[in-house]
């Protein structure tokens, strides 16, 4: 979206000075990073890819960004996204189109499409993304990079422009699993500024490869999945089995309800969170005859089509007469979806699935059909509803339509270290 | 099917000014999406408790006291206010 050369050079000079002075270097000293433009960086013109924040300047760092700064990372700039992180292709940005560097006719995925594309193009070593329903994992898969959606609460959300607070997490994106883990270690941890953030009791890997059981949820391999993606994922499971991993078919019986459940809960939370963009305290402000007019005009002109659609959906689901039938029902469905994962993890240590049912689509292909776009996230949203962690990585050597193929590893709450451990073993296959 | 009046009512509740064209498209899109969401109707959720947050959380307390703020942070925030008087945010009248 925008490079920050002055900041980057200043940070780099400080690192140079530290090196020249023989000082002990921090974990990420001098490592170039890009930050999704929904995560606040002090003095950045953070916009969330929305016109309503066109001239907004962040007064403070998000906690994850402050931690990276402490570790010496160099910030090269902010990356494009779907406006307020609503979309699956980064085409809903109010400013720019981001292309997939592996095939410029295709989308990079979304909503952290700018971060994934910047890594794939070699423009940075790692990036921060955020993931409400697949927004780190799907672009990572589309661009052939690695991305983690941490357990809900594992990384502070302070300074992440809020979209759906009970689902989203900031997470690391990088070229390989090792780098992704290093960045995760740097940003994770309890934060007094986010009351939902926690430190887990066992933050280390506790298994010996290949002494693990992996579940293949049959609902993730049915109708709608590209047959070559299916083949590539199952072949990976087969290779792991040859190395001694136990592979077992399991069931997540409520999987088919995840998408309708998600598209009630997310717009509901978004409609409440985005009420703050009202033209009063900061951001765009339209003139009008009365206060209502200021609100309605500012929001009507400053927000894009998908954002308005979701605010409308959420307002509808929360409105009197519909609350029980939509919002409350969805939160109950969420309990069943979460229980499916709990039951699965009583039997197996991990789940292995595709990230996306199809390969990166062409720019413009789905932009006019919101439902089609929503289906892009069919394999990633349940994970956010259940709050479990999941990593997206390219399957080694696999290509479909001459593009990399994403693999998703899902684990129980706070099992990030185990997931990284398994992902490194898969990288070696 | 959601009516155009309902769409306009929700837009008012959400404080969104929509053009005529936007209202028409919104009506069509919402009808499609709500049609898809109807699928949830099949699911039996009798005796199921809702999950409002995925990981159990505890209430976090802190003392209710004024916290020091960096003057630069205050300056950045003040400088972005659409209307102000001195160091205070100015808003339109709420009561008429």
3-state secondary structure A60-104: CCCHHHHHHHHCCCEEEEEECCCHHHCCCCCCCCCCCCCCECCEC
pLDDT score recorded for residue A205: 80
Cα distance between residue A173 and residue A120, in whole Å = 10
CATH number, domain of B18, equals: 1.10.20.60
Best of A153, A277, A312 to mutate (most B CBs within 10 Å, chain B): A312
Those of residues 57-76 in B touching chain A at CB distance below 8 A are 57, 59-60, 62, 72-73, 76
Residues of B in contact with A335 (CB under 8 A): 45, 48-51
Q: How many domains does chain B have?
A: 1
pLDDT for residue B57 is more than 80: no
Given the DSSP bridges, would you call strands A213-217 and A246-250 parallel, antiparallel or unpaired? parallel
Which DSSP letter does residue A412 get? S
B59 and A195 within 8 Å at the Cβ level: the answer is yes
Per the domain annotation, does B8 fall within a domain? yes
Given the DSSP bridges, would you call strands A390-400 and B84-85 parallel, antiparallel or unpaired? unpaired
B32 and A152 within 8 Å at the Cβ level: the answer is no
Per the domain annotation, does B9 fall within a domain? yes
pLDDT for residue B96 is more than 90: no
Best of B3, B5, B11, B16 to mutate (most A CBs within 10 Å, chain A): B16
The verdict on A153 touching B (C-beta cutoff 8 Å) is: yes
The pLDDT of B33-40, averaged and rounded, is: 94
The rounded radius of gyration (Å) of the Cα atoms in chain B is: 23
Per the domain annotation, does B29 fall within a domain? yes
A295 and B15 within 8 Å at the Cβ level: the answer is yes
Chain centroid offset of residue A66 CA: 19
Residues of B in contact with A316 (CB under 8 A): 2, 6, 10, 30, 34
Per the domain annotation, does B48 fall within a domain? no
Nearest CA among A179, A174, A110, A171 for reference residue A142: A110
Best of B14, B39, B46 to mutate (most A CBs within 10 Å, chain A): B14
Which DSSP letter does residue A274 get? G
A278 and B81 within 8 Å at the Cβ level: the answer is no
Among candidates B10, B16, B33 on the partner chain, residue whose Cβ is nearest the Cβ of A263: B33
pLDDT score recorded for residue A226: 97
Structural tokens at position A268:
């509901």
Per-residue pLDDT band at B92 (split at 50, 70, 90): confident
Per the domain annotation, does B26 fall within a domain? yes
The verdict on B16 touching A (C-beta cutoff 8 Å) is: yes
Residues of A in contact with B8 (CB under 8 A): none
Best of B37, B42, B69, B79 to mutate (most A CBs within 10 Å, chain A): B37
Per the domain annotation, does B83 fall within a domain? no
Nearest CA among A29, A134, A150, A23 for reference residue A86: A134
Cα distance between residue B26 and residue B20, in whole Å = 10
Residue ranges making up the domain that contains B25: 4-42
Per the domain annotation, does B31 fall within a domain? yes
pLDDT score recorded for residue A301: 98
Cα distance between residue A234 and residue A240, in whole Å = 10
B53/chain A closest Cα distance in angstroms: 5
pLDDT score recorded for residue B11: 98
Chain centroid offset of residue A424 CA: 20
The verdict on A257 touching B (C-beta cutoff 8 Å) is: yes
Q: Select the more confidently predicted residue: A19 or B92.
A: A19
**Maximum Cα–Cα distance for chain A, whole Å?**
72
A300 and B62 within 8 Å at the Cβ level: the answer is no
Cα distance between residue A224 and residue A219, in whole Å = 11
B37 and A326 within 8 Å at the Cβ level: the answer is yes
Q: Count how many Cα atoms sit within 13 Å of the Cα of residue B42 in the half-sphere of its side chain.
A: 11
**Considering only alpha carbons, which residue of chain B is nearest residue A199?**
B57
- Asked if residue A156 lies in contact with residue A64, where contact means CB atoms within 8 angstroms, the answer is yes
Per the domain annotation, does B20 fall within a domain? yes
Burial A72-110 (b: 16+ CB within 10 A, else e): bbbbbbbbbbbbbbbbbbbbbbbbeebbbbbbeebbbbb
Model-level ipTM above the cut of 0.90: yes
**Considering only alpha carbons, which residue of chain B is nearest residue A166?**
B53
A60 and B82 within 8 Å at the Cβ level: the answer is no
Where chain A has pLDDT below 70, the residues are: 202-203
């Amino acid at each position: 979206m925008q490079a920050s050369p002055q900041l980057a050079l200043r940070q780099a000079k400080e690192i140079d000075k530290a090196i020249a002075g023989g000082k002990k270097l921090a974990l990420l000293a001098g490592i170039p990073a890009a930050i999704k433009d929904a995560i606040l960086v002090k003095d950045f013109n953070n916009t969330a890819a929305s016109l309503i924040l066109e001239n907004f300047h962040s007064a403070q760092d998000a906690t994850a960004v402050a931690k990276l700064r402490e570790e010496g990372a160099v910030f090269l700039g902010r990356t494009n996204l779907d406006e307020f992180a609503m979309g699956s292709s980064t085409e809903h940005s109010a400013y720019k189109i981001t292309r997939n560097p592996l095939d410029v006719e295709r989308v990079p995925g979304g909503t952290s499409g700018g971060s994934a594309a910047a890594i794939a193009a070699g423009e940075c070593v790692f990036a921060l993304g955020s993931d409400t329903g697949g927004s780190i994992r799907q672009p990572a898969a589309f661009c052939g990079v690695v991305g983690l959606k941490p357990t809900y609460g594992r990384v502070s959300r302070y300074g992440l422009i809020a979209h759906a607070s009970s689902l989203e997490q900031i997470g690391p994106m990088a070229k390989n699993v090792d780098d992704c883990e290093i960045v995760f270690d740097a940003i994770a941890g309890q934060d007094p500024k986010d009351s939902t953030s926690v430190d887990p009791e066992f933050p280390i890997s506790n298994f010996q490869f290949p002494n693990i059981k992996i579940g293949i949820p049959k609902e993730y391999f049915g109708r709608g999945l590209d047959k070559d993606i299916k083949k590539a994922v199952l072949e990976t499971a087969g290779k792991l089995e040859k190395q001694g991993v136990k592979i077992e078919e399991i069931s997540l019986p409520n999987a088919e309800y995840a998408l309708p459940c998600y598209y009630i809960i997310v717009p509901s939370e978004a409609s409440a969170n985005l009420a703050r963009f009202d033209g009063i305290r900061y951001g765009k402000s339209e003139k009008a005859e009365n206060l209502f007019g200021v609100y309605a005009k500012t929001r009507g002109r400053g927000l894009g089509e998908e954002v308005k659609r979701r605010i409308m959906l959420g307002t509808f689901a929360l409105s009197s007469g519909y609350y029980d039938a939509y919002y409350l029902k969805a939160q109950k469905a969420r309990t069943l979806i979460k229980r499916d994962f709990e039951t699965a993890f009583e039997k197996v240590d991990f789940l292995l699935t595709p990230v996306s049912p199809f390969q990166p689509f062409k720019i413009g292909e789905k932009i006019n059909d919101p439902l089609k776009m929503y289906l892009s996230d069919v394999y990633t949203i349940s994970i956010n509803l259940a709050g479990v962690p999941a990593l997206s990585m390219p399957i080694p050597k696999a290509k479909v339509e001459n593009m990399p193929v994403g693999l998703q590893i899902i684990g129980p709450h706070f099992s990030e270290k185990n997931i990284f451990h398994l992902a490194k073993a898969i990288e070696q296959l | 099917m959601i009516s155009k009046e309902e769409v306009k009512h929700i837009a008012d509740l959400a404080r969104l000014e929509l053009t005529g064209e936007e209202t028409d498209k919104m009506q069509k899109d919402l009808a499609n999406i709500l049609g898809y969401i109807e699928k949830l109707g099949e699911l039996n959720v009798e005796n199921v408790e809702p999950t409002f947050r995925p990981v159990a959380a505890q209430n976090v307390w802190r003392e209710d006291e004024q916290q020091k703020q960096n003057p630069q942070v205050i300056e950045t925030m003040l400088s972005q206010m659409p209307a102000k008087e001195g160091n205070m945010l100015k808003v339109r009248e709420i009561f008429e």
